[in-house]
Chains A and B, each alone.
Chain A
Amino acid sequence: MLQRKIPLFIVFLMGFLMTVQFYIPHPVSQTLYKYVLDWMNGVASMAIVLAVGSLIMHHWRRLKKPEFALYSAVTLVSLFFMAILGFFFGIREGSLFQKMFENVQIPLQATMFSLLAFYMASAAYRAFRARNLEATLLLLSAFILMIGIIPLGYYIHPRISDFALWILNVPNLAAKRGIMIGVGLGMMATSLKIILGIERNWLGG
């Protein structure tokens, strides 16, 4: 009862009320709507304990394994250090918290993703083959885009740039719109299945 029925009832009730309030803008439904919006941010804020809590537990366990201990210690120490800075010494510009963000978090995260440039080039070189009609079309479209969106393409001939924009605005748009409509229908169906209790994977084991 407590384990499955109440959560399923909450999901149904909230889903039903939030769908209905869109179509029936009665003062009562509007008041409820505003409260729910307000609470959603409050509740979601506390969900961070889930993520950080499991991260801490994971690294805490790894401290006992000599091959990982040092690295996990780095994670745990930096986590608590950053959190203490943020909680007790302020988060505004010029604070140590913001300095750590700007000079540790930003460069690390940005550089990690910048490695993709190398791998993307090497993958394009190895795997991008005009094996059949579909692959050839993909390749041609990519070529025109790569030339057409850089200023050089425009200065070689403005028509190249126009052609790239045409691809984006017509055939690409048609493809992406088809996908968008499909995804939209899928999202609506999934939402409805969750509300009606047909989709229950979120309940876990």
Chain B
Amino acid sequence: MKIIRILSTLDRRIIFLLVGLGILIPLLKPLGIPENITPPVRDVYQFIDTLPPGSAILLSVDYDASVLPEVHPMFLSILRHAMLRKVKVIGIALNPAGVGLGVQAFDRISKEFGKKYGEDYVYLGFKPNMAATMLGLGEEIHKVFPTDYYGIPLDSLPMMKEIHSYRDIALVISFSGANIPALWVSYAYSRYGQKVAAGVTAVMAADYYPFLQTGQFIGMLGGMKGAAEYEDLVNRLLQKKGYRKPMPFAIKGMDSITVVHLLIILFIILGNLGYFLQKKEVK
């Protein structure tokens, strides 16, 4: 009883320390638990994997650094997958604080695969009004983005000569920590029938299941788990094709998440034991 009482009234700094260690130790000594692939992630992977080479997808950087470890690995993995499959990629950003993350990701991954700017991929940058941008892309991309992120006129980019609206884009993937993927459904899917998928933070993931069931999302990556699954699928593909496997950021992170999840469950159980003990004593 005394032990339970002590364990249920731990100082918050001890909790902080345990959480810190729960993350740190698996990073230093990975557990190496393999990923299981869930249907929403597999659907996105298969969609991109079966696209004919030369088709185009649009990746929207709708997140910023506040959710970087969850969403950025998704963005990198999907970008790798698309580039490996010779799918053309259009990048845009609807979150002003995330624009530079897109610059960084495209720069890094295009170098890995030796892709050429303007021919294999473009980065169109940021627009402030989400609804107007999503709807405008259904009419004429060149009007919404007269120039790309760097100020180059879109008409002078070879790849963009054949891409004018959603009709020329196989899939839009919105990466976000907020409700922007839902807006993509409202404006791009509902009005123009554009296929949409989402890479979202775990906080948002549970909220988006209604869109999966109706087919308004063709698939979804939720949180670091979703990122780890996609990373695993792409890394296997890279290995098969003879490429060097990149450092699996999210897969490694999942080890720490496993430990912390168990810790939090333990904390909650201890907290509750203390609560019931106290209730009994009062009675």
Interface residues of A (CB under 8 A from B): 22, 34, 36-38, 40-41, 43-45, 47-48, 91-93, 98, 101-102, 105-107, 109-110, 112-113, 117-118, 121-122, 124-126, 128-130, 139, 143, 146-147, 149-152, 154-155, 158, 161, 165, 168-169, 172-173, 176-177, 179-180
- Residues of chain B within 8 A (CB-CB) of A125 are 10, 15, 264, 267-268, 270-271
Q: Which of B192-200, B205-213, B237-245 interfaces with chain A?
A: B205-213
A185 nearest CB across to chain B (Å) = 14
Which one, A34, A98, A129, contacts B272 given CB within 8 A? Answer: A129
Task: Assess A37 versus B257: contact at CB under 8 Å? Given A44-B129, A146-B265, A155-B33.
Answer: no
Which one, A102, A112, A149, A169, contacts B209 given CB within 8 A? Answer: A169
B104 nearest CB across to chain A (Å) = 6
SS of B interface (majority): helix
A147 touches B271 (CB 8 A): no
- Residues of chain B within 8 A (CB-CB) of A180 are 207, 210
Tell me the complex Cα distance, A96–B268, Å: 47
Tell me the complex Cα distance, A40–B128, Å: 9
Tell me the complex Cα distance, A118–B22, Å: 11
25 A-B residue pairs with Cβ-Cβ distance under 8 Å, sorted by A, are: A34-B140, A37-B144, A38-B132, A38-B136, A38-B143, A92-B103, A92-B150, A93-B104, A102-B100, A106-B68, A110-B68, A121-B19, A121-B264, A122-B16, A124-B271, A125-B268, A125-B271, A146-B265, A147-B265, A150-B254, A150-B261, A152-B33, A154-B36, A173-B213, A180-B207
- Residues of chain B within 8 A (CB-CB) of A177 are 210
A98 touches B103 (CB 8 A): yes
- Residues of chain A within 8 A (CB-CB) of B68 are 106, 110
Residue count of chain B within 8 Å CB distance of chain A: 64
Task: Assess A121 versus B267: contact at CB under 8 Å? Given A152-B258, A177-B210.
Answer: yes
SS of A interface (majority): helix
Task: Assess A101 versus B19: contact at CB under 8 Å? Given A45-B128, A139-B268.
Answer: no
Q: Does B157 contact A (CB under 8 A)?
A: no
- Residues of chain B within 8 A (CB-CB) of A161 are 36, 38
A44 touches B100 (CB 8 A): no
Which one, B15, B97, B139, B275, contacts A121 given CB within 8 A? Answer: B15
Tell me the complex Cα distance, A121–B263, Å: 9
B69 touches A110 (CB 8 A): yes
Q: Does B127 contact A (CB under 8 A)?
A: yes
- Residues of chain B within 8 A (CB-CB) of A101 are 100
- Residues of chain B within 8 A (CB-CB) of A38 are 132, 136, 143-144
A168 nearest CB across to chain B (Å) = 5
Q: Which of B48-56, B59-67, B73-81, B83-91 interfaces with chain A?
A: B59-67
Task: Assess A146 versus B264: contact at CB under 8 Å? Given A152-B258, A169-B209.
Answer: yes
A124 touches B264 (CB 8 A): yes
- Residues of chain B within 8 A (CB-CB) of A130 are 272, 275
Task: Assess A37 versus B135: contact at CB under 8 Å? Given A146-B261, A152-B258.
Answer: yes
A108 nearest CB across to chain B (Å) = 8
Tell me the complex Cα distance, A59–B127, Å: 27
A176 touches B65 (CB 8 A): no
- Residues of chain A within 8 A (CB-CB) of B136 are 34, 37-38, 41
A103 nearest CB across to chain B (Å) = 11
B206 touches A122 (CB 8 A): no
Tell me the complex Cα distance, A169–B132, Å: 32
